[in-house]
Amino acid sequence: MNIRELARRSGVSTATVSRALNDRAEVSEATRERIRRLASELGYAPNEPARTLVRRRSDTIGLIWDSGQEAQGLHNPFLLGLLSAVRTALSEADYHLMLLTTPAADDPDASYLQAVRRHNLEGVIVLTTPPDDRCLRVLAASDVPCAGIDTAFTGPHTVRVSSDNAAGAEAAVEHLHTLGHRRIATITGPLHLPPAAERLAGYRRACERLGLAVPEEYVVEGDFFLDSGQRAGDRLLALGEPPTAIFAAGDQMAIGAMHAAADLNLSVPRDLAVVGFDDIDAAALVRPSLSTVAQDQRALGEAAVAALRGLLDGPDLTPRSERTVSATPRIVPTRLLVRGSSRPGA
Amino acid sequence: MNIRELARRSGVSTATVSRALNDRAEVSEATRERIRRLASELGYAPNEPARTLVRRRSDTIGLIWDSGQEAQGLHNPFLLGLLSAVRTALSEADYHLMLLTTPAADDPDASYLQAVRRHNLEGVIVLTTPPDDRCLRVLAASDVPCAGIDTAFTGPHTVRVSSDNAAGAEAAVEHLHTLGHRRIATITGPLHLPPAAERLAGYRRACERLGLAVPEEYVVEGDFFLDSGQRAGDRLLALGEPPTAIFAAGDQMAIGAMHAAADLNLSVPRDLAVVGFDDIDAAALVRPSLSTVAQDQRALGEAAVAALRGLLDGPDLTPRSERTVSATPRIVPTRLLVRGSSRPGA
DNA sequence: CTGTTAGCGCTTTCAA
DNA sequence: TTGAAAGCGCTAACAG
């Protein structure tokens, strides 16, 4: 079943069928309707590769997510929500989605950029901060429109979307302050990662604003994983003047800190309040349940898609300030979820 | 940069370039090498849509995962590993991957099958058990090769890959028995879902083999989520003769059961041992850490891809028994992870 | 409003 | 071993 066959059966030319099915204005309503019905009846679907070939556009976006294994434990649960959000937003905008594979190291020609060219992809969305990736840098430096979520990469046709990490951290600290806490420590992620640095900055800003002292020992760097959180917790609680509350830049570390407290027979939240970041699945499963700063995965996905579309539709036709895109924030707000680990009554 | 340009610069015809780049035998080694080098230098990459159009095959597989929101909480962490495994296995077999979107309800013509036809997809991999989906059934009934992971759907060109749920459950029960437990209860998933039913069957078989009595009250049905596990735990522990061990068919329910024990001031694993199923992230984060039956996501992904490829390569050329596919098990073994919730010393 | 026609970039006969 | 030429299914000028 192809367009020629459909044209034959409708008694019109292929051009008319094409016009009818593509909603071109020049077709009479009657013919369009007739062709539509027949197409639906016969189960006709246009051949996309053929369309792509002639139109020189594929309506397809590439998706890159996490190259190595490194980040696996880190962003896992978060990632799936993001993936889902991106997929939904993209399909609502009538784009197709192609999953790009990490290029094999043994094939020098394989690269994200190659894949984009081969498939006529119109843009790429990049999820998570990948380990320093050469292929990704080549892509970012190219003329391919890219939108990165929570990813530090820049290029001429590149946008970055991320949660408002600083504001999220601030909100967490403020929440703890409101609860009466005055000695609030933090466990950070690896500070070379932007989100980790931003969350620390938010913590500092909040403390400053609230007039809280931040002794040097109150800032401990972790690696986002459980054990580092527990070790940091051990250290903090062993201080001469231990904190009464901890803000951890990641949920796994927050849970680790709760374990540290438990090992000292301290009760959470009575003796130590804890707030994490990310709202991973486990946050709602542990006991006490973990208060956390949730990222809005849907909003992130939508913002990324909106930003990418802005890059796609006539990059230079309208003045920057007038583009719809700019209305969509590249910084997505977070939401504080108060649960047992910081709820006085719990 | 296209094949014509490359041909011109190499001083040969496009046909020769095509043959050289596609490893056809009829090209002299010298020309092939020369063309290869030039192609690499010029950064030439063949246009896939054009190839697809003429070859009538796309080397592309579609991926369907979770239609509704329902399953969201359920299989989440598991899914991402699966996705990753499928992506890797597919790219090793030189297939591209297209993410399919749940068809919009308001467009009667949109369907998975349509998408497959439009893009010339050669097969589809389906992840997770979706809610009773009409579109999916249409697809399964078609001539499109499909491989489902943990999904109950059948059709003429369909294979199903799943973990050995029964054996996994058996192993869990046996483990508890070895620890000295004789009163072992179970919390099941919704029994209309195959994995849930299979896990229950494994539990029963193990009990029978080990000579353990299974009073009717020892089997409680849950919904795979936390709360149902806690409620089931409450009920089991309130029995006149409460179990000393619980096998839950899902980790969230297992964690719920641990909460129930904690609320009664029972110690896990001393007063109650618990084993779950799936090895979600939280299993390693809760305290005590949760023993569980882990599914091998990589193996599942690889098995699905292998099975699908078996369907693709000459479905009827070789007798069934001789196909390479049949060497790859459609049932993937699980692995028991013993952690704190069932470790005597813990 | 509709039809005719010329390709899009590639692979694949068929001839040489 | 190579080249010339046809055509995959579709869209987009250009005519009518």
CA-based nearest distance B115→chain A, Å = 8
Is the same domain home to B106 and B169? no
| Average pLDDT over every residue of A179-192 | 96
Regarding whether A316 and A172 lie in a shared domain, the answer is no
A169-173, B160-164, B214-218: lowest mean pLDDT where? B160-164
Is A49 touching B (CB cutoff 8 A)?
yes
Give domain status of residue B339, yes or no. Answer: no
Based on the fold, state whether residues A174 and A288 are members of the same structural domain.
yes
Residue A12 pLDDT exceeds 80:
yes
The H helix count followed by the E strand count for chain A is 13, 12
- pLDDT for B327 equals 47
Of A21 and B76, more confident: A21
* CATH number for A170: 3.40.50.2300
Residue A116, pLDDT > 70, answer: yes
The count of domains in chain B is 3
Structural domain contains residue A190: yes
Confidence bin at A326 (pLDDT 50/70/90):
very low
Confidence of residue B33 (pLDDT cuts 50, 70, 90): very high
- Nucleotides of C strand lying within 7 Å of any protein CB atom: 1-5, 7-13
Share of chain A above pLDDT 70, in %: 90
- Which pLDDT score is estimated for A153? 77
What number is the average pLDDT over the span A173-181?
97
- The predicted model gives A301-318 an average pLDDT of 79
Largest Cα span, chain A: 89
Asked if B139 and B235 sit in the same domain, the reply is: no
Q: In this predicted structure, what is the pLDDT of residue B315?
A: 53
Tokens representing B342 are 């069932």
**Inside any domain, residue B338:** no
Question: Could you tell me if B240 and B190 lie in one domain?
Answer: yes
Residue in chain B closest to A83 (alpha carbons) equals: B80
3-state helix, strand, coil in chain B (%, to 5): 45, 15, 40
Residue A319 belongs to some domain of the structure:
yes
**pLDDT above 80 for A131:** no
Residue B118 lies in a domain: yes
State pTM to two decimals: 0.88
Which residue's CA lies closest to nucleotide C3 at its C1' atom? Answer: A13
Residues of A in contact with B119 (CB under 8 A): 48-49, 96
**The pLDDT value given to residue A72:** 47
Residue A144 has pLDDT above 60, yes or no: yes
DSSP string computed for B64-120: EE--SSTTHHHHHHHHHHHHHHHHHHHHHTT-EEEEPPPPPTT-TT--HHHHHHHHT
More confident residue, B234 or B103: B234
Task: Give per-residue pLDDT as tens, A255-278.
Answer: 999 999 999 999 999 999 999 999
Confirm whether A346 is domain-assigned.
no
Same domain? B202 vs B240: yes
Same structural domain, B95 and B196: no
- Structural domain contains residue B258: yes
Give the CA angle between residues B267, B268, B273 to the nearest 5°: 135
Range of the domain at B291: 165-295
Same domain membership, residue B307 and residue B280: no
pLDDT higher than 60, residue A138: yes
Average pLDDT of B269-290? 95
Q: How many CB atoms lie within 10 A of CB B322?
A: 10
Pick from A30-39, A120-129, B136-145, B325-334: least confident: B325-334
How many angstroms separate the CA atoms of A118 and A115, rounded? Answer: 5
pLDDT, chain A, mean:
89
**Shared-domain flag, residues A303 and A288:** no
What CATH number is associated with residue A37? Answer: 1.10.260.40
Residues A170 and A290 in one domain: yes
Same-domain pairing of A217 and A123: no
Summary count for chain B: helices (H), strands (E):
12, 12
Q: Can you tell me the mean pLDDT for A86-104?
A: 91
Kindly determine whether the C-beta of residue A50 is less than 7 Å away from any atom of nucleic acid strand C: yes
Instruction: Give the Cα separation of B259 and B251 in Å (integer).
Output: 12
For chain A, say whether B119 makes contact (Cβ under 8 Å): yes
- A94 Ramachandran zone, left/alpha/beta (phi>0; psi -120 to 50): left
Eight-class DSSP state of B34: H
Residue A237, C-beta contacts closer than 8 angstroms, at least 6 positions apart: A243, A260, A261, A264, A266, A272
From the list B177, B242, B248, B196, the residue with the least C-alpha distance to B215 is B242
- Residues of chain B with pLDDT > 70, as a percent, come to 90
Closest alpha carbon to C1' of C7, residue: A54
Confidence (pLDDT) at B128:
75
- Tell me the nt nearest to A27, Cα to C1': C1
Are A117 and A182 in the same domain? Answer: no
